[in-house]
Amino acid sequence: MNIRDLKAETGDTIKLNVTYEPENATLKEYEYTKIGDIFMKDNKGNIIAKKDGISKITIKHKTQKLIKSIVIKVDAKKKEEVKENNDVKEENTSNNEPEIKNIDGLTYVNGILIVNKTYSLPKDYDPGSLSVDAKNAFDEMQNAAKNDNIKLWIASGYRSYSLQTNLYNSYVLKDGKTKADTYSARPGHSEHQTGFAMDLNIIDSSFEGTPEAIWIEKNCYKYGFIIRYPKGKEEITGYKYEPWHVRYLGKELAEKVYNTGKTLEEYLNITSKYSE
């Protein structure tokens, strides 16, 4: 039993997108065991998003002991959003102190799930695959690139905590810890564990300057991605330039970040440094 991505607006009835393995499982029924503080149950047993925020819903399979949770962000309806953002408020977001929320070990900065050298994910955080939104966005980007005679593919998408542990340890053995830290994330600190990051085409500095890398740099924001570790920003992101590593943020936010020319750390006014 798995729950896929979900987006909600205030007032929406929450319809969880629950999938089952095997797909032909006979009993596909679950019950809510916990609903977070931004949701409420109506008299028909539906879950309604009553206000903006980030909160968790936990469900349990009716007969088996399977328990799954999903963190859902509820955004105000567009109308209210426009009202609120009519003045310069939005322009100043990046100068303001970020709103940092920790939900079950996951860090949300202004509502965005953040993983870098400062903020990590719990060992057991395991979405199991790329987020559906991120994968769909990649497919759209891949098609657009194809029209420009550019071939894109995912070289590395979702990576679990244990896979990252193996990768990082092998790099430390090869290059030593100090050097490994400039290009590989410590376990729990890899953005790949979120399911929102992917490495495209060639994971190697030879990718820089290729038509594919140039195309990605110029266009990826249109499909909801940003180049997460840009050139010349090593001190801020904590990583060497990676023209192949993109992070899915959704079209609206990716375009905003792209237009500022800032890294995600600068945009949100946060750091990326290991504590030791």
Please identify every residue annotated as catalytic. 242
Supply the minimum distance, in Å, between the C-beta of residue 199 and Zn ion.
4
Hey, what amino acid is at 77? K
Decide whether 6 or 115 has the Cβ nearer to Zn ion.
Answer: 115
Task: Classify residue 13 by its DSSP letter.
Answer: B
> How far is the C-alpha of 199 from the C-alpha of 186, rounded, in Å?
17
> Which segment (45-53, 131-139, 158-166, 238-246) binds Zn ion by CB under 5 A?
238-246
Decide whether 189 or 245 has the Cβ nearer to Zn ion.
Answer: 245
Supply the minimum distance, in Å, between the C-beta of residue 197 and Zn ion.
6
- Residue 268 · residue 110 · CB < 8 Å: yes
> How far is the C-alpha of 172 from the C-alpha of 57, rounded, in Å?
39
Can you tell me which of 61, 159, 245, 256 binds Zn ion, judged by CB under 5 A? 245
> Which segment (124-132, 161-169, 237-245, 261-269) binds Zn ion by CB under 5 A?
237-245
Instruction: Give, in degrees to the nearest 5, the angle at Cα 207 between 172 and 263.
Output: 75
Buried-state track 42-81, b at ≥16 Cβ within 10 A, e below 16: eeeeebbbeebbbbbbebbbeeeeeebebbbbbbbeeeee
- Residue 231 · residue 244 · CB < 8 Å: no
Q: Is the dihedral of CA 145, 146, 149, 153 positive or negative?
A: positive
Supply the minimum distance, in Å, between the C-beta of residue 142 and Zn ion.
17
| 265 touching Zn ion, by CB under 5 A | no
| 117 touching Zn ion, by CB under 5 A | no
- Strands 67-75 vs 8-9: parallel, antiparallel or unpaired: parallel
Decide whether 55 or 120 has the Cβ nearer to Zn ion.
Answer: 120
Decide whether 12 or 242 has the Cβ nearer to Zn ion.
Answer: 242
Total residues binding Zn ion (CB under 5 A): 2
| 217 touching Zn ion, by CB under 5 A | no
Supply the minimum distance, in Å, between the C-beta of residue 251 and Zn ion.
21
Decide whether 36 or 157 has the Cβ nearer to Zn ion.
Answer: 157
| 199 touching Zn ion, by CB under 5 A | yes
> How far is the C-alpha of 96 from the C-alpha of 77, rounded, in Å?
23
| 233 touching Zn ion, by CB under 5 A | no
Supply the minimum distance, in Å, between the C-beta of residue 185 and Zn ion.
8
| 159 touching Zn ion, by CB under 5 A | no
Contacts with Zn ion by CB under 5 A lie at 199, 245
